[in-house]
Amino acid sequence: MDGQRETSIEVPGGQGTSGARTEAAVEERPRFDALLSELSTQFLNFPAAALDREITAGLQRLAEYWEVEQGALFELSEDANQVRVTHTWTAPACEPAVLPMTLAQVPWVFGKLRRGETVRCSPGFDPPDEAAGANGDGPRCGLQSVVVIPLTVAGSLAGAIALSTRRTDCAWPHEVVQGIRLVGEIFVNALSRTQARALLQAASFQLSLLRLPPHGAHHGPQGTENGATPIAGMIGHSDVLDAVRFRVEQVAPSDTTVLLLGETGVGKELMARALHQRSLRSARPFVTVNCAALSATLIESELFGHEKGAFTGAMGRRVGRFEAAHGGTLFLDEIGDLPLELQGKLLRVLQQSEFERVGSSQTLPVDVRVIAATNRDLEDDMRAGRFRPDLYYRLAVFPITVPALRERREDIPLLVRHFVMQCAQRAGKLISTVPSRVMETLQAYAWPGNVRELRNVIQRAVINTQGPVLCLMDHLPATVEPSMEYQGVRPLAVAEAAHIRRALEAKQWKIEGQAGAAAALGLPASTLRKRMRKLGIHRPTSH
């Protein structure tokens, strides 16, 4: 590019009222210099999360300073063939101008920008035939006055900034154009720095993966084995997590009801979403209900909906979560907290695929796959009479236990690097190093809050870090051997097999009758025999 030039489109009698105001504004150079200095300082190291909002606010200040009605920022595409709108501001009392989404739709203007020429259009200007865009739009796009100024970063065209007005005439003198260009380059340089930081963060993360111990060298970015399909958010390469991935892939394509077991914070909802996304219902709704967050009086209406007048405050018909999830997946989180009186109604829906809204006698069919989750011991709840055994066995068709974080400590470095990159990028920081002593501290902690707690600790550390090296502020006591209260939940099949084996041994492997193991377990003898076959339990042979 030959540097920046201006295409001066002179307008007969173009010095209107607004033009006079513009010339007056040019004379107030100290006031504009103050604005320029303020914006330059403000965007020097602005957090990425707030950058778009602040650029829009900056366009507003610039447009109001020059007393025009609209400002827009354009960005050059990666292939340098398009300049698209990224940020706009329009005065509240004005109708937004219909700007082309890309300046390539107005090739005459785009061509001048690529040559580094400023385009200034005012009343009285008769554009050449080639100035018409693909839709017949002229360079003014129905506006009274427009200026479009090319912007550069490190000597290369990066985008453009435009100011425009519908109601008044602007002559856009050279001094005004130069001032607008300076502000526009502040904006595009801030965007360029943010993009560079994001790329550097991604590169640092990928480099950190390459520095993992050899055990992790055969795994992809998400910690999955080569050839395996990664599941978003399931980060790690431990054997227990690989087993969970395998079970998810096994059951996902079917409509089988799944029960997710595990402590709070292990990511049960993440697993439920992975099951839905890999199912034949992935294009249909995924609806979540937290059974612990609703009162017993509201949860029935939440699940099944209600008719107008069904109870006090029912001002109209309400569609329940089952109805909303028709054709898709319903995730019942914290199912162990479902009131006992509703468990029978839920069982009927699962068995018969039909329900009634509260206050209605009309039976509605529903096609929903149910995934339930709990951090409670439902077997204890069954023995205590808090959970129906028939509902438990209807939900636990395919149980999956999500392991606690302390059961997969080898995954902690991957998770830490992922959360550091994620949190630092949102905070507009560059953190490239996690000291080995910090990583050792994180791996030695028991993590009662699991992955959720780890993320919170990393987020606090990123906020407190000033510089490229992560600074851990939390005091995390080392736990060489997890205490009993933090012992991991065993896979349901393992726990069930151990429980059945203990009952059989206590009854000398007698199954039938009142003194048999089936009666002690509260199961029919035929059901116990089926569970034994499924779990591979056999009476030991005598020698």
Phi, psi (5° rounding) for residue 67? 60, 45
Cα 453-458-463 angle, rounded to 5 deg: 130
The answer to whether the Cα torsion of 343, 344, 350, 353 is positive or negative is: negative
Compute CA 444 distance to the chain's CA centroid, rounded to the nearest angstrom.
29
540 SS3 class: coil
One fold for both 5-196 and 252-401? no
Q: Could you read off the pLDDT of 412-469 as tens digits, one per residue?
A: 998 998 899 889 888 888 888 888 889 989 998 989 999 999 999 999 999 999 888 9
The DSSP line for 439-480 is HHHHHHS--TTHHHHHHHHHHHHHHH--SSB----S-----S
Q: Could you read off the pLDDT of 254-303 as tens digits, one per residue?
A: 999 999 999 988 989 999 999 999 999 988 999 998 888 777 667 778 88
Distance from the first to the final alpha carbon of the chain: 92
Q: Which CATH architecture has domain 252-401?
A: 3-Layer(aba) Sandwich (3.40)
Cβ–Cβ < 8 Å for 362, 314: no
Dist CA 23 CA 261 (whole Å): 71
Q: Tell me the CATH class for 405-486.
A: mainly alpha
Please report, for the chain, how many H helices and E strands are present, in that order.
18, 13
- H or E element that contains 153: strand 145-153
What pLDDT does 142 receive? 55
What residues does each domain of the chain span?
Answer: 5-196, 252-401, 405-486, 492-535
State the Cα torsion 294-299-303-305 to the nearest 10°: -120
pLDDT in tens, the chain (543 residues): 444 555 443 333 344 444 554 555 555 667 777 888 888 777 766 666 677 888 888 899 888 888 888 899 988 776 666 777 888 888 876 665 555 545 556 677 778 888 888 888 876 555 555 555 444 444 445 567 888 999 988 888 888 999 988 766 777 888 888 889 999 998 888 888 777 766 665 555 555 544 544 433 333 333 333 334 455 557 888 888 888 888 898 899 999 999 999 998 898 999 999 999 999 998 899 999 888 877 766 777 888 887 776 666 667 777 888 888 889 999 999 999 888 888 888 898 888 888 888 877 888 888 999 999 999 989 888 988 999 999 999 999 999 999 999 888 889 998 998 899 889 888 888 888 888 889 989 998 989 999 999 999 999 999 999 888 999 988 888 764 443 333 445 566 777 777 888 888 778 888 888 778 888 887 888 888 888 888 778 777 644
Dist CA 140 CA 127 (whole Å): 9
CATH, range 5-196: 3.30.450.40
b or e along 129-160 (b: 16 or more beta carbons within 10 Å of the residue's beta carbon)? Answer: eebebeeebbbbbebbbbbbbbbbeeeebbbb
Burial of 234 (0-12, 13-18, 19+ CB in 10 A): buried
pTM exceeds 0.95 for this model = no
72 SS3 class: strand
Burial of 44 (0-12, 13-18, 19+ CB in 10 A): exposed
Sequence-ordered list of residues with C-beta below 8 angstroms from that of 322, at least 6 positions apart, any chain: 303, 304, 305, 330, 349, 355, 366, 368
Dist CA 347 CA 391 (whole Å): 6
